Structure 1
Amino acid sequence: MGRFILRRLMQAAPLLLAVVVLNFLLIAFTPGDPITLLVGDFPAPPEYLAQMRRDYGLDQPVWMQLLHYLGKVLQGDFGYSFANQQPVASLILERLGATLELTLTALGLASVLGVAFGVLAARSRGGPADSAIQAASSAGYAVPDFWLGQLLILAFAIGLGWLPSQGYNPVRGVAPGWEGFVQHLRYLLLPALALSMRYLTLITRITRASMLEVMNADYILAARARGSAEWQVVIGHALRNAAAPVLTVIGYNLGFVLAGSALIEAVFAWPGIGRLLYESIAKRDYPVMLAILLMVSVTVVLANLLTDILHRLLDPRLERA
């Protein structure tokens, strides 16, 4: 297992380097000037604009900027934010907690409900519950996340007035103890539900398909012949052997959930990494954009590695492959 992890990390190193280089070049050759956006409508003289470009290193050729950036990244320095006037690393750390809270809640909600609905659909194959779950999953997968977020705001915040429409906490602050936890949960519920819907429907469909493949296997029939309880057959035998594709979907989508939170955080004014990326794109804040894209890439690599490790733990035959 140690050799496997080391080999995967060594394979990921050139991939991450290629991601950094490609992202840098794509952003560098995108039309527009971040200095112009920083200055705004202020009639700055050309000398001042040239000085700002020198200060931020934007007067150098692209290949020199790339080499300088790679050297700083290898030292753990992700640069200085043009728009926020602070180090990128500290800026991301300020927003990281809110994004992790949102994405992990959404992925946990999608995983638990998706597996439960998938098992229920497989157990009632061809029945009303199966048809309803398949129809709902198809509709949920087709709805864009940001549009679903707006629909939830219209329904539960504006129409019914049950939940707040935007923000992270009440403006006056949260109350101490359990009451404060409930207040914060009300702000978290709608964005987490909007972000989780696409992955919930995907996990539901994968779980159902994987369960149907194993429900008629010989070991399932043998377990029932031994008189095992139905929940033991479904959970202990069928679901465990059907778990590999489900784990693959959950693990491989972790990075996409993190990247997809940008629009959801913008819709719900959630102060996380996704909203920071959205704002950085609008302001052409190169260092922040590059750091967030690199963080998403690292998350995808680590999520894939963790998924492969879990596969080997669930199926020891893979260890000898």
Structure 2
Amino acid sequence: MSSLGKIGSSLRRTAIQAVPTVIGIVILNFFLLQMAPGDAADVIAGEAGSATEETMHALRVQFGLNHPVLVQLYNYLNELAHFSLGFSPRYGMPVAELIGQRLPGTLLLMSLALGIALFIGLVLGSVMAIFAGRLPDRVLSVLALVFYSVPGFWIGLMLIILFSVTLGWLPSGGAGTIGADLSGWAGLWDKARYMILPATSLALFYVAIYARLTRASMLEVKSQDFVRTARAKGLSPFSVTVHHVLRNALIPITTLAGMHIGSMLGGAVVVETVYSWPGLGRLAYEAVMGRDFTVLLGILLLSSLLVIAVNAAVDLLQTFLDPRIGVR
């Protein structure tokens, strides 16, 4: 079978396996959210200041919350079967439209954070592996341990104090200058200024993980026979490190990066709340506070599909990095 045929077969198998997985995730999340106290009608009535029993009943009937749990689950699965994520009681609009407005911001933030984490982690890990056991390795190991240990929200607040309050270099929150009609490079730079701090806050935790993993993987690969053969052929130390050691060390790193997509979505809840970034993480937080479980179910479903898609892409990337793995 050709490489393209193997890739197509692997993608079909992944898609088939994803269907029962996603259904199971939806059902589990639905019952877990049903165990939470209150519903959207309670929150809406609380924000209004008062409500009669008749008003509460009318709200629950309007949002379909008056049905038994199993009936609500059937109705929700029926909507999913018709490619609908339902209707948000709190925002008064379809969930798919609401998520579509917030999704680009989160994907952009996560992509930038993952890129920063991988780049800095690979550089630091390579330096640590080259100087293993010496002063640079020890200093960078302590720095990585600090990034790994410190909570993300604390790092976010400290970055705001340093770069926004003290130095005044970067904005403390938001997604763009309010009222500014910028385009071209000016608009791109304005957007980038608002992304630097949240992306860095989200990335620093993963920098520590990738740096330590890169160090361990490179030290393991350096002891392999093919690396000694490359050195014996007279290749330069730089060529051996980049084309032989680092390339093979990337395999466990790409696997871990794919697994971190889900945890990055969880970390985005904290980071987007701290920096008032309009993304899915902040929307999930608002949905929890507003008991808007339809929105939260939609976000969880989308997150599951995103993780499955990224893991499939990682499998293909690993095949490119090391053809010996193959697409099984």
TM-score, L = length of structure 2 = 0.94
Secondary structure at 1:126 match in 2: coil
Give the distance between the partners of 1:174 and 1:151, measured in 2 at CA. Answer: 30
**Partner in structure 2 of residue 23 of structure 1:** 29
Select 2:177's aligned residue among 150, 155, 170.
170
Give the distance between the partners of 1:33 and 1:240, measured in 2 at CA. Answer: 51
Select 2:121's aligned residue among 109, 114, 124.
114
Give the distance between the partners of 1:208 and 1:174, measured in 2 at CA. Answer: 46
Gaps of 5+ in 2: 1-5
**Percent of aligned positions with the same letter in both sequences?**
39
Task: Pick closer, same or farther for the CA change 1:184–1:320 going to 2, 3 Å.
Answer: closer
Give the distance between the partners of 2:96 and 2:260, measured in 1 at CA. Answer: 25
**Partner in structure 1 of residue 242 of structure 2:** 235
Q: How far is the alpha carbon of 1:291 from its aligned partner?
A: 0.3
Select 2:285's aligned residue among 269, 278, 303.
278
Equivalent residue runs for 1:289-300 within 5 Å:
289-300=296-307
Structure 2 counterpart of 1:255, which letter? Answer: G
Select 1:34's aligned residue among 14, 36, 40.
40
Select 2:270's aligned residue among 256, 263, 267.
263
Check conservation: 1:146, 1:264, Cα contact below 8 A.
Answer: yes
Q: How far is the alpha carbon of 1:320 from its aligned partner?
A: 7.5
Cα root mean square deviation, aligned: 1.4
Structure 2 counterpart of 1:9, which letter? Answer: A
Check conservation: 1:80, 1:86, Cα contact below 8 A.
Answer: yes
Give the distance between the partners of 1:255 and 1:235, measured in 2 at CA. Answer: 29
Secondary structure at 2:88 match in 1: coil
CA deviation profile, 1:171-193 (whole Å, cap 9, x unmatched): 12253322232222111100000
User: Aligned pair 1:83/2:123, yes or no?
Assistant: no
Q: How far is the alpha carbon of 1:280 from its aligned partner?
A: 0.7
Give the distance between the partners of 1:279 and 1:120, measured in 2 at CA. Answer: 42
Check conservation: 2:156, 2:271, Cα contact below 8 A.
Answer: yes
Moved more, 307-316 or 121-130: 307-316
Check conservation: 1:140, 1:197, Cα contact below 8 A.
Answer: yes
Give the distance between the partners of 1:294 and 1:288, measured in 2 at CA. Answer: 10
Give the distance between the partners of 1:270 and 1:290, measured in 2 at CA. Answer: 21
TM-score, L = length of structure 1 = 0.96
Secondary structure at 1:253 match in 2: helix
Q: How far is the alpha carbon of 1:129 from its aligned partner?
A: 1.3
Q: How far is the alpha carbon of 1:260 from its aligned partner?
A: 1.6
Give the distance between the partners of 1:12 and 1:232, measured in 2 at CA. Answer: 40
Q: How far is the alpha carbon of 1:123 from its aligned partner?
A: 0.8
Secondary structure at 1:171 match in 2: coil
What is the total number of aligned residue pairs between the two structures? 321
Check conservation: 2:221, 2:249, Cα contact below 8 A.
Answer: yes
Q: How far is the alpha carbon of 1:86 from its aligned partner?
A: 0.6
Equivalent residue runs for 1:78-227 within 5 Å:
78-227=85-234
